[in-house]
Amino acid sequence: MALGKIEHLGIAVKDLQASEHLFQDLLGLPPYKREKVDSEGVETSFFMAGNNKIELLSASSPDSPIQKFLDKNGEGIHHVAFHVEDLFQEIERLSAAGFTVLNNPPKQGADGKLIAFLHPKGTGGVLIELCQDLPNL
């Protein structure tokens, strides 16, 4: 088993509304979805540009991991997300290969996904998200 296509790029932003306007002007289309994920203290906005998805992430609470990222790094690329068919199998495979999985068991994320992150200390400084589509119930 291997990681699939890049599912999306996550970009941390200070002001979600201002960033939505910027990306709408840049891409020439509006976001297709805005979603708050209370468990992560984040509000997201999603854009499709061709086959590519961009997720804007803004902190919805001062103790949010996104706010901590913004305080330390400023705005910019936060993570790269890869699509996987079987998240549990990928967690097992990557753990056995020595990667540190931050979410085991995985958790529900935005945009109808089951997610888990890999610690950036083991991935060359890049936060990696693994995403599996949740079944439509």
Q: Is the pLDDT of residue 137 over 80?
A: no
CA-to-CA distance for 108 and 24, rounded, in angstroms?
27
Q: For the segment 60-76, what is each residue's pLDDT rounded down to a tens digit? A: 999 999 999 999 999 99
CA-to-CA distance for 51 and 23, rounded, in angstroms?
16
pLDDT at position 132 is 96
Give the pLDDT band of residue 135 (cuts 50, 70, 90). confident
* 18-40 per-residue burial string, b: 16 or more CB within 10 A, e: under 16: ebbeebeeeeeeebeeeeebeeb
